[in-house]
Amino acid sequence: MNATEKKAAYNLADYNSERTSFSWKNIESKLELGKTKGGYNIAHLAVDRHANTSLKSTLAFRFIQKDRSPQDYSYSRLKEETSRFANVLRSLGIQKGETVFSLAGRIPALYITALGTLKTTAVFCPLFSVFGPEPVFQRLHKGEAKILVTTSALYEKTVKQLEERLPFLRYIILSDLEEHQSGKVLSWSRLMKEASSDFKIPPTSPEDPALLHFTSGTTGMPKGTLHVHKAVLTHYITGKFVLDFHQGDLFWCTADPGWVTGTSYGIIAPLVNGVTSIIDQEEFDAMRWYAILEEQKVNIWYTAPTAIRRLMRMEIKPREKFNLGALRVILSVGEPLSAEAVLWGEHSFGIPILDNWWQTETGGIMIANYPSMPVRPGSMGKPLPGIEAALAEVTEDGLNFIKEPGKQGHLLLKKGFPSLFRDYLHEEERYHKCFTGEWYLTGDLAKKDSDGYFWFIGRADDIIKTSGHMVGPFEVESTLMRHPAIAEAAVIGKPEASIGELVKAFVVLKPGEPTNEEMKLDIIGFARKHMGPAVAPKEIEFIASVPKTRSGKILRRLLKARELGLPEGDTSTLEQT
Ligand code: AMP
């Protein structure tokens, strides 16, 4: 295929004309929402709709087990199992809008719970299986969980001790229990055996609540973010335009459903587009990951900067050791992807890694580098057709929109797109504070270049104000990462009377590098040369590892709290290393 043919084969072949002609109404008609019985129901559009077509024997999910053997679910099998689980929930009295939680690794029961719950019009909320008792309690309590699906081991370790404090929790279903343990602690297999595989999805309206996600907690206490069934329109269209799903594709989203990416793109978007998802049940392991890409002939791979940085550090040349010829698109989300990482992708896989930006609150991808457009390394790309993004100064009198290229401001999205969150659970005031007129304030700072590409600066809360400059920690971190001895870096602002805040860098050195004064001076010198003295860190501290959330985001507020001797705040999403 030559370059022109290749471009025409992309779902989003011409960004500008698609943006001009795009309407969410057209997407509704494409999904034939008016004609099908399930209406807007996400599970209907993701599963049942396909199980009655030629896709019925196509694989929906392929779970890769510890020994790398597959466990397969076709669309028709998934329809049956999710209907069974929907009947289980009905038999246990679950009503529309009530919440069903999961606390499990990436096992089939988690995925069946998600889709079966959606079928009943109850609300699904996934939790990371590595959460300890308190974070699990906070979320089950806040979300008023009625049913929890988990494993026997996690029940014993985490949930059992919380039961008395959770009066709303009616049933706990254990995925690996043969027989019911009590009237409350039930066996998944027993319930599923007794349930019918026929389930009629009740009429579901676009605004019916569907998903509850807790944010990663980089800026404070995790918030319970509520999404509605209509969000599926964003999942569908971003699957087409950004992930470039085509029939027959094998897709691997490495995210755990405990983070919104693992639900929107690990479950819903690929199913709505009728492709096959690979789900690895194990944690990150570079050689295993490359082997899966090769063995499963993955076409589209969606991962995160934290994993990419780890792969970069390993210095494995993947194309020399593995046949990765099936890979067509590689994407990244969750944190800024440095230009070096984009270029490393090009060098290592023969295709660049495409960065895209979104948040738990937006429910789906909003700004992206598209496979059909030349990648702009270091930029998060352009807004999706149907999404209006703008930059503004936020003042007491309202918004001052920024028109000049290169000037940074608050990143805003125009309300009205389907996957925008509808509530922060029990925090109405906080929710309303996110909106000014018809704009949603994302809490991030960004700039836009003269070609319309957006560039991430930082979370507004993380920005460092030093000697009259506004410094985004990410720009300092990515420069530091180019120093040959540095493996990882995290940067904060430390209050300093004369200059406002001083830039301080926490640095993890590569194995064998000396943690001495000379190294500190060398790093400071390197930073000054590349960034100038105003922005370069004035203080360096060596640490063993950078604290991150389970979804791989640097927890700068934790480093800052430790630095200033302040309370650490909520650390429930902290990854244990
Ligand atoms: P969460 O909702 O927990 O996934 O966090 C969303 C936040 O992660 C965003 O508001 C950004 O601060 C950050 N983020 C996500 N994707 C990107 C990206 N591609 N580039 C820079 N920051 C990102």
- Mutation probe of ligand 1 site: the residue of 335, 353, 375 with most atoms within 8 A of C-beta: 335
> Strand, helix or coil at 90?
helix
- Structural contact between residues 149 and 103, judged by C-beta atoms closer than 8 angstroms: yes
192 CA distance to ligand 1 centroid (A)? 38
Tell me the best of 212, 359, 548 to mutate to test the pocket of ligand 1, counting ligand atoms within 8 Å of each CB and taking the most.
Answer: 359
Q: Contact, 201 vs 229, CB < 8 A?
A: no
Task: Tell me, in angstroms, the distance from the centre of ligand 1 to residue 357's CA.
Answer: 6
Element (H, E) at 518: helix 517-531
Give the Å distance between the CA of 347 and the centre of ligand 1.
25
Sign for the pseudo-dihedral over CA of 396, 399, 405, 406: positive
Could you give the residue ranges of the DSSP H alpha helices within 70-187? 75-91, 108-119, 133-142, 152-154
Distance from the CA of 76 to the center of ligand 1, in angstroms? 35
CA of 44 to the centre of ligand 1 (A): 29
- Spatial contact of 163 and 152, defined as CB atoms under 8 Å apart: no
Which positions ≥6 away from 331 have C-beta within 8 Å? 242, 243, 300, 301, 302, 303, 353, 354, 355, 356, 368
Rounded CA separation 235/486 (Å): 37
What is the pLDDT tens value at each position of the chain, 577 positions in all?
554 555 559 999 999 999 999 999 999 888 877 566 667 899 999 999 999 899 999 999 999 999 999 999 999 999 999 999 999 999 999 999 999 999 999 999 999 999 999 999 999 999 999 888 988 998 999 999 999 999 999 999 999 999 999 999 999 999 999 999 999 999 999 999 999 999 999 999 999 999 999 986 666 677 899 999 999 999 999 999 999 999 999 999 999 999 999 999 999 999 999 999 999 999 999 999 999 999 999 999 999 998 998 899 887 899 999 999 999 999 999 999 999 999 999 999 999 999 999 999 999 999 999 999 999 999 999 999 999 999 999 998 899 999 999 999 999 999 999 999 999 999 999 999 999 999 999 999 999 999 999 999 988 888 888 877 778 888 889 889 989 999 999 999 998 888 889 999 999 999 999 999 999 999 999 999 888 887 889 999 999 999 998 878 889 989 998 988 888 777 777 776 5
Q: Distance, CA 14 to ligand 1 centroid (Å)? A: 26
Ligand 1, CB within 6 Å, residue ranges: 215-216, 260, 333-336, 355-357, 359-360, 380, 442, 444, 456, 459
Separation of 96 CA from ligand 1 center, angstroms?
31
Dihedral pair phi/psi, residue 151, rounded to 5°: -105, 165
- DSSP notation for 324-383: -TT--EEEE-SS---HHHHHHHHHHHSSPEEEEE--GGG-S--EE--TTS---TT--BEE
Rounded Cα gap, residues 567 and 561, in angstroms? 6
Separation of CA 445 and ligand 1 centre (Å): 11
- Beta strand 171-174 with 185-187 is parallel
Residues in a beta bridge with 253: 302
Give the other-Cβ count within 10 Å of 167's Cβ.
9
Rounded to 5°, angle at Cα 385 from 439 and 443: 35
What residue owns the CA closest to ligand 1's atom 12? 459
The alpha carbon of 459 and the centre of ligand 1 are apart by a number of angstroms equal to 8
Cβ proximity of 362 and 213 under 8 Å: no
Tokens describing residue 370: 């598209």
Closest ligand 1 atom to residue 456 Cα is: 21
Q: How far is residue 305 from each of residues 105, 216, 278, 317, 561, measured CA to CA in Å? A: 21, 15, 20, 18, 24
User: Whose C-alpha lies nearest to ligand 1, atom 10?
Assistant: 359
Atom of ligand 1 nearest to the CA of 474: 21
Rg (CA), the chain: 24
Pocket perturbation via mutation, ligand 1, pick of 444, 453, 556, 574 by most ligand atoms within 8 A of CB: 444
CB of 56 closer than 8 Å to CB of 74: yes
The rounded distance, in Å, linking the Cα atoms of 336 and 190 is: 46
Instruction: Indicate left, alpha or beta for 573 from its phi (over 0: left) and psi (-120 to 50: alpha).
Output: alpha
pTM, to two decimals: 0.90
Rounded distance between C-alpha atoms, residue 147 and residue 99, angstroms: 7
Distance 259 CA to ligand 1 centre (A): 12
Residue 361 alpha carbon, nearest atom of ligand 1: 2
Closest CA to 261 of 309, 299, 304: 304
* Nearest-CA residue for atom 16 of ligand 1: 334
Supply the residue whose CA is at minimum distance from atom 20 of ligand 1. 336
Domains of the chain (ranges; CATH) run 3-447 (3.40.50.12780), 463-564 (3.30.300.30)
Residue 204 sits at φ, ψ, to 5 deg, of -120, 130
Q: Measured in angstroms, how far is the CA atom of residue 356 from the centroid of ligand 1?
A: 9
Distances (CA, A) of 302 to 251, 256, 281, 354: 8, 12, 16, 9
